[in-house]
Structures are given as C-alpha cells and as structure tokens.
C-alpha cells in the first residue's frame, strides 16, 4: 500500500470494494466514470483474477473503457447486452432521497443512459459528497455545439423562474478550448448554489432545444455506499429504508495501484 495514499482515496477505495461485493457471477454491469469509479474497476478486476468471477461490463466513458481493458475486465456495449443487472458509479453530490448531481467528469449522458438501463444503481462516494440539498456543486448540462450560445441564453432565461439561489452559467473549458464530451457535445455548468426542486428543474431543462441531458439523477440511485478512511462503509438503501455499517479490509494488492493517475 503506498504510504502517501490520502484519507479521501482510502475512503473511495473502501466504498468501491464494498460495492464490488454486490457483484455476482454472470452479471452484466454498468461501469461508471471518475476517480471513485476507477477504484471500483480495479477492485472488480481483482475479483476476476482471484475468484474467476465471470461478468461483462458496459463502460460509461472512453477512459473507463481503457482502464477496464488494461486490467482485463471483459467489455461489451449496451446495444449488445440490452439491459444491465447493476451499475456502480460515483456522484458529485447526493441528498437524503439519494437524488444525485453527476457530470463533473463530463460523462453524464452515457452515465445516465447506462444507469437507467439497469435493475439497480449503486453510488460509491465519500462523506464529503453528502448534502442536505443539491446545488453546491455546479450542475452540468450537456448541449450540442450548434447554437450553444443561444442554448445558454435559453437556460439562463429558464432559471429565472426556477427555485435556485444562483443563475451563473459557464461553458466548461479545457485550456483555451471548449471541453468536448465522448458524444462530441459541450458542457454548460450551472452555478445554482441551491436547487429547491430538482425534479422540476431536470424536466424543464430537458425541454430546451439544444440541451441533450442534464446531470440531475432523480429516482435512479438505489443504494449509496459511503466510504471512510478508517475502513467503515455505510450502506444506505432507499428501497428498504435501511442504513447498515460494516468494515472493509484495507489491504489492496499492488495490482490495484498500478498506473494510478
């Protein structure tokens, strides 16, 4: 175990390892995107190597696909498998109803498609992502490049009638160029501070021409697993209304740490 692994990464690893414990032989899995999801892919690969676990994964981004291939996780496409047993992914925020903001990694469109096409979605996270009300994290909205400034203006106009505290909208950049998603779209980040009615906002945003999808995941997540650096994993199940806490052994093999960013 690297000596410089920080508490946040330890917490992410704990959540990821606990989530991979839900995976059963023969499952078709949605593989999320982001730093916490990367831990999940590594833990899944370890189970495949050590236990002979037979699964097939559908990645939600190019970078997740590349990581999975490098670690020997079998992949397919959503068109090929049609439906998934389980999706495991991270989140930028989650509230008490397990509604989410996702898209900090600019993969929200594929993430939402994959999660919606799953029997169950598990979100893996650390305690810092838990909020009383969504909105502190900027809400990503994926838009087509054509007429994006007009789309931005329409989004800003729409926000005037929404229950939000802020209305600043920015185009996400990478260097001096607009960030381009895997689907060749742009991302608008909505700096709202607080979202009073996430369900309403999600529905209204998707009615705006030029908007492809937004980063509000409403009634999609079933379980949130919150990892802690001391080895605790808190499992919240929205369907059973239960909260369970157990401990996860923090003893990852050297293979898990190979080529970490």
| 26 marked ligand binding residue | no
Nearest to 99 by CA among 215, 234, 11: 215
SS (H, E, C) 90-140: CCCEECCCCCEECCCCCCHHHHHHHHHCECCEEEEEEHHHECCCCCCCCEE
| 90 marked ligand binding residue | yes
User: Tokens at residue 156, please?
Assistant: 């800003």
Maximum alpha-carbon separation in the chain: 54
| 65 marked ligand binding residue | no
| 147 marked ligand binding residue | no
Residue pair 15/35 in contact (Cβ under 8 Å)? The answer is no
| 129 marked ligand binding residue | yes
Q: How many helices (H) and strands (E) does the chain have?
A: 7, 16
111, 130, 157, 249: the catalytic one is 111
| 229 marked ligand binding residue | no
| 34 marked ligand binding residue | yes
| 166 marked ligand binding residue | no
Q: What is the DSSP letter of 43?
A: H
| 95 marked ligand binding residue | no
The residues, any chain, with a CB within 8 Å of residue 97's CB and separated by 6 or more, are 238
For 42, half-sphere exposure in the C-beta direction (CA atoms, 13 angstrom radius) is: 21
The residues, any chain, with a CB within 8 Å of residue 231's CB and separated by 6 or more, are 14, 247, 248, 249, 250
| 35 marked ligand binding residue | yes
244 among known catalytic residues? no
Residue pair 96/132 in contact (Cβ under 8 Å)? The answer is yes
For 64, half-sphere exposure in the C-beta direction (CA atoms, 13 angstrom radius) is: 32
- Annotated catalytic residues are 111
Binding site listing for substrate: 33-36, 89-92, 102-105, 129
Binding site listing: 33-36, 89-92, 102-105, 129
């Amino acid at each position: 175990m690297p000596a410089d692994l920080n508490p946040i990464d330890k917490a992410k690893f704990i959540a990821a390892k606990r989530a991979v414990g839900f995976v059963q032989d023969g499952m078709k899995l949605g593989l999320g995107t982001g730093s916490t999801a990367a831990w999940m892919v590594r833990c899944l690969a370890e189970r495949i190597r050590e236990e002979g676990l037979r699964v097939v994964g559908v990645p939600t981004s190019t970078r997740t696909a590349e990581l999975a291939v490098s670690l020997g996780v079998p992949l397919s496409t959503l068109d090929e498998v049609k439906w998934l047993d389980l999706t495991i992914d991270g989140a930028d925020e989650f509230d008490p109803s397990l509604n989410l903001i996702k898209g900090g990694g600019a993969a929200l469109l594929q993430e939402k498609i994959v999660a919606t096409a799953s029997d169950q979605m598990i979100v893996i996270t650390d305690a810092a992502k838990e909020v009383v009300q969504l909105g502190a994290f900027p809400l990503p909205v994926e838009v087509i490049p054509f007429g994006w400034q007009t789309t931005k203006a329409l989004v800003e106009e729409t926000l005037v009638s929404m229950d939000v505290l802020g209305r600043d909208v920015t185009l996400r950049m990478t260097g001096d160029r607009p960030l381009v998603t895997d689907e060749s779209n742009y991302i608008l980040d909505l700096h709202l501070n607080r979202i009073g009615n996430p369900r309403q906002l999600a529905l209204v945003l998707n009615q705006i021409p030029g908007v492809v999808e937004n980063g509000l995941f409403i009634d999609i997540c079933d379980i949130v697993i919150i990892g802690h650096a001391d080895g605790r994993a808190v499992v919240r199940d929205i369907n059973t209304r239960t909260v369970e806490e157990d401990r996860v052994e923090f003893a990852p093999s050297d293979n898990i740490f190979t080529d970490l960013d």
